[in-house]
Amino acid sequence: MIKKKIEEEIKMLDSIIKNGKVVTHTDVLEADVAIENGIIAAIGYNLGQAKEVIDAKGNYVMPGCIDPHNHIGMFVDYNGDLKSETGAGLIGGNTMMMQCGVGNYPIMDVVKMMKDPIKSYAYGDVGMYAALLTDDDLTKIPELSAMGINSYKFFLAYKGKFAESIGLMNCNIDNGYLYEGIKEIKKVGGLPMFHAENVEMVVRVEPEFRHTNTLKTWADARPNIAEEIDFFTACEIAEFLKSPIYQVHSSVARVTDIAREFRLRGNKVYMEGMPQYCILDYEGKNLKEPLLGKINPPIRSHKDRDGCLENLKRGEYDVLATDSANSMYADKKKDGNIWNMILDWSSAGLMLPLVLSEFVNKGHLTMPDVVRMSSYNTAKIHGYAPKKGMLAPGSDADIIIVDLNKTKKLSAKTTPSWSDWCLYEGWELKGWPVLTMLRGKVVVKDDKLLVEPGFGEFVKSQPAYK
């Protein structure tokens, strides 16, 4: 009887991660992490006994990354892509990704078509943001918010034939639409996002460069000023309406000067940085096939690359993302002419390894910097905190253990991504996760997926700006 009572009084936790360096958005701590019922129970010392003890072996213990910018199924089968990209994401340290809800159907139909398969095909957790294209879409914002979608994207870069080139038949967004959209988003406390490239300017500039076939001419046809103009205009509209604003994939270094002006006036201007704009330039000397680097906004000059890296080091970017989209090599390359190639490359599961290898191990960022931009800020800005994005009691136990000395050579076979090609073919990256935990369950160990498709869940966001 006494023995039974003692056993009942001893609380057995589900898991404890020991011997790790716990990374928050501000500090690195020598501490253990206790997990119970899929939730972080405590961080500290002498946390009790557990059914499972995970030895971090002196490596870094940090919140799982959230990649807020993905286009799953844009050029390939959606269900298969959802499976492969969430799996690749878990291996690379992304416990959650945000999918862009965009298509040629009414927005509620698009969201349903993308949301429903998550429970059957996703390995990792998935949130969503909605691309607003039509007047009818604006009327659905309250309904979208109620179902847990509170970030909304405006494709300022696409109209007419430019929109049709990426498969959007109903996209004719102008500044008036952006104004009306931000007004409606503000009513629900949501976040307006925008792709800044002035399409009217690009339409006029592009024809003079179509006679050449280089990554540089793709950038020349979409000049820096096109991004700067739309960035400034979107910030002006948001300031007038007293709304936050969020730029996706910032590629022009000087844009942060404009952002600083608005921020100093008290405006919430968020910027999404991406590794590619800090490590690549349009000369493509570190790429086996530079033309495959065609994306929008384009990879720019070495001056912009270096400037974006300085912006990253100074903390100008609030979050990190990939803009990942999959294709098959033959579909991407087509006839070898950059003007006929589609806009994509797969980066699922590569955000964190690129950041660790190219920025942390080269002395540009600290580990708390990484947590701040790849987890903590992302969750707060998009309305997923405190459930996601942080190591704190009560948050989901979405945790990765990172070995900064682990190296892997990149190829199309490095991760289970749908794509049969890799832009970074042959690169050796130093710094990878060795274990990934999602909601308290170890889902990846030593690059092996330990769960089945359908383990992932749709994650609702909350309005963060009411």
Domain boundaries, the chain: 2-61+396-404+429-449, 64-381
For 185-234, the three-class secondary structure string (H helix, E strand, C coil) is HHHHCCEEEEECCCHHHHHHHHHHHCCCCCHHHHHHCCCHHHHHHHHHHH
Beta strands in 321-423 (DSSP E): 399-409
Beta strands in 109-150 (DSSP E): 125-131
Does the domain spanning 64-381 belong to CATH 3.20.20.140?
yes
111/108 Cα distance (integer angstroms): 5
- The answer to whether 395 and 25 have CB atoms below 8 angstroms apart is no
Tens digit of pLDDT at every position of the chain (466 positions): 333 333 444 578 999 999 999 999 999 999 999 999 999 999 999 999 999 999 999 999 999 999 999 999 989 999 999 999 999 999 999 999 999 998 888 999 999 999 999 999 999 999 999 999 999 999 999 999 999 999 999 998 777 676 666 667 677 789 999 999 999 999 999 999 999 999 899 989 999 999 999 999 999 999 999 999 999 999 999 999 999 999 999 999 999 999 999 999 999 999 999 999 999 999 999 999 999 999 999 999 999 999 999 999 999 999 999 999 999 999 999 999 999 999 888 898 999 999 999 999 999 999 999 999 999 999 999 999 999 999 999 999 999 999 999 999 999 887 778 899 999 999 999 999 999 999 999 999 999 999 999 999 999 999 999 8
Q: Which of 75, 80, 78 is nearest to 334 (CA)?
A: 75
* DSSP code of residue 66: E
- How far, CA to CA in Å, does 139 sit from each of 106, 109, 185, 301? 11, 14, 10, 41
Give the CATH fold of the 2-61+396-404+429-449 domain.
Urease, subunit C; domain 1 (2.30.40)
How buried is 378 (Cβ within 10 angstroms: 0-12 exposed, 13-18 middle, 19+ buried)? buried
Tokens of 185: 């988003």
Note the pTM of the prediction, 2 decimals.
0.95
* Residue 292 three-state SS: helix
* DSSP code of residue 340: G
- The answer to whether 153 and 130 have CB atoms below 8 angstroms apart is yes
